[in-house]
Every structure is written in C-alpha cells, then in structure tokens.
Amino acid sequence: MTEMVYGSMPVRVTEPVLPRWWRTLDKWTLAAVLILFGIGILLGLAASVPLATRNGLDPFHYVQRQAFFGALALVAMLGTSMLPPEMVRRLGIVGFALSFVALALLPVFGTDFGKGAVRWFSLGFASFQPSEFLKPGFIIVTAWLMAASQELNGPPGKSISFVITLAVVGFLATQPDFGQSMLVLFGWGVVYFVAGAPFLLISVVLALIAGGGVVAYGASEHFARRIDGFLAADIDPRSQLGYATNAIQEGGFFGVGVGGGQVKWTLPDAHTDFIIAVAAEEYGLLLVLCILALYGTVVVRSMFRLMKERDPFVRLAGAGLACIFGVQAMINMGVAVRLLPAKGMTLPFVSYGGSSVIAAGITVGMLLALTRTRPQNELHDLLFRRGR
C-alpha cells in the first residue's frame, strides 16, 4: 500500500570496489610498468652479481633486495591507484610535507656514501633518499595550488607554487643534486604550462635555469667536472661514460648474449645509473627499443586519457606526474649515450634502488588513479549539457 501511495524508493546498485577499479583502470599502462619491473629483475641478475662478488656478499644479494623493494613498490602502486582524486591530493600533500622536512634535515643527518653528494639517510639496514619521494608530492601540491588559483577568488596559487619550487631547488642544490633540481623545475614548468602560462614567462624561467647552470658551474667543482667530461672532445675510456659507450657499441643490434657482457665487471654503477648499458651490451638495440616503447606507452596513454578530463586538478597533476616519469627515464638513458651530462638519476622500475623503485610505484599509482575512467568528469559531457 505504501508503494502505491508514495511510489517505490529507487535502489542504488553499487559496483564492488575491485571490479570497478579494474574496469576503469588503464590496463596498458599497468602492463607496461609490470614488464619494466620484470626487465629490471632480469638485468639485475646480470648487473648486480659482480658488485655482490666484489663486496663479499651472496651473488644474488642485490637482486633479492630489488625484488623485495619492488614488491613493496607494486603494493604501493596498486593501493594508490584505487584512491579517488581527493585522496590522491591529500596523500600528495602529506607526502610532500614529510619529504620536504627530511630534505631540509639532510645537511645535518644525511650521508653521501662516498659519492660527493649528501642525498641519503643511512638507516643501517637500508638507506632513504628524500628527493625521490618528494617529486610526486611536489607535483600534487603544485597542481592543487594552480587549480585553486583558477577558481573565483582563489588564492595566488601560481606565485605560492613558485616560492615552494625555489625552496625545494635550493635544498637540492646544496647537496648538490642538480639533476633532481632540473627535474623539479621541469615538473613545475609542465604543470604551469598546462595551467595556461604565457610563453614569455616560460622563456624567462628557462633563461633563469640557464643562468643557474652557469652559476653552478663556477661554484661547484662536482658539477663543473661532470660538464667538462660531457663537453670533452674525447671520452676517457676508463671513465663511466667510456665504459658505457663501449658497451653500447659492442652490443650492436642483437647483443653479445645473456651473461656475455663485460661492462658490469668494470662499471661501479652498472646496476643503477648505467643499467641501460648492460641492457644494450647483452641484449642489443632490440631490448633498448622495447624499454623506450614501454616508457612511451605510459606517458602517451596517460596524456590521451587526461585530455578527456575537465577537473583542472586531475589534468594538471596527471600531466606533471606523467612527464617527470618519462623525462627521468629519458635523462638516465641520455646520459648513457652521452646526449646529456652525468646526472646520477635512476631508470624507473629498472635500476636498483629501494627509494627509487618505491617512489616510482607511488608516482605511477597516483597517475593510474588520476587516469581512471570517470564518465561524469569527461569534458564532452559538460559541453553536451551546455549545448542543450
């Protein structure tokens, strides 16, 4: 009788979380990341065994550690990818705040592990590099501020984000870590560009970056030595770049064969910064092209999905995360083939490193969360409603 008088109440059928997550997820990006991680383990089996032997450890010590940290990274990636944009924003803000405090404390409590740059906290059983975790949080905070500045009576988000950027770059430069500094500036520039920055302002920022490079060259012997080595007409065959260049040339198109490479026995960073040289020598250009295609898949797929979004924060944050992920890979591989000066930057999901792989997992997890299909947020829905 009640239904006859008042009508039946509509029942809202909700889709379970996991099926909805799987249906809306960009599976191509997820597959590309999983393959990259598998390639990283494969190359680790070749590149890290000589280092373990020199250090008197079990031959597969570093591979086992990479598998452990990689598992944590995949759990973090999948867990983060299930979050809605609001939770991604909160996670990014908290993560940035904690990482920034850790970055500021590096000059007091940090260590350089004999590499000339104070970038790590030594925990005894492991090390922690704050700058790796700072990058995704920085992009989220920058996107949040710039999206808020587009609202009516919104805060001066662009100016605030620029001040934060200068503070972050200042702390990174004191380590010194000019590679991460340039990556942070690039990420800010991408978000600002997508938010509608005038080309003149972008040109001014680029000029400031160039000026900062000139100042760093005169003030830092570490930075000057790397630039001089990059600009030298001849490569010292006993330098890291010399070994890497020779390995890439020896690999050719198909490589010298699994286990047949020699660069892993001479390069101290063959399992981290120069892992692509090991790939090129043992597996040849074919594997290198495959790795390039996988990184390109993540970036291009993400950009196409973000083009459909009308939420400013999602567009800005997603574009920034995708670009810093892709550019970090490009910098690492560019250094190995001497297109760029040495930066000390890892290859995401492929290079050895706990902080690097876990931070990459969080970055891609945020990217997957922001690029999930949300029909109510697509731009053409808004235009269709306005056209009625």
pLDDT one-digit tens code per residue, 308-343: 888 999 999 999 999 999 999 999 998 888 888 777
- Using DSSP, state whether 255 is helix, strand or coil: coil
Q: Tell me: the pLDDT tens digits for 21-36? A: 999 999 999 999 999 9
Domain ranges of the chain: 24-373
- Answer whether residue 76 shows pLDDT above 90: yes
- Answer whether residue 119 shows pLDDT above 80: yes
Residue 231 pLDDT level (bands cut at 50, 70, 90): low
Q: Tell me: the pLDDT tens digits for 259-269? A: 778 788 877 77
Characterise 315 by phi-psi region: left (phi > 0), alpha (psi -120 to 50), beta (else).
alpha
Q: What does the pLDDT read at residue 205?
A: 73
- Answer whether residue 376 shows pLDDT above 70: no
Distance (Å, rounded) from C-alpha 343 to C-alpha 172? 13
- Answer whether residue 101 shows pLDDT above 50: yes
| Owner of token pair 């993560």 | 95
- Which of 35 and 56 is assigned the larger pLDDT? 35
- Which of 187 and 271 is assigned the larger pLDDT? 187
HSE (CB half, 13 Å, CA atoms) of 69? Answer: 24
Degrees, nearest 5: CA angle 253-258-264: 95
Rg value, the chain, Cα? 23
Q: What does the pLDDT read at residue 27?
A: 95
Instruction: State which of 11-15, 199-203, 252-256 shows the largest mean pLDDT.
Output: 252-256
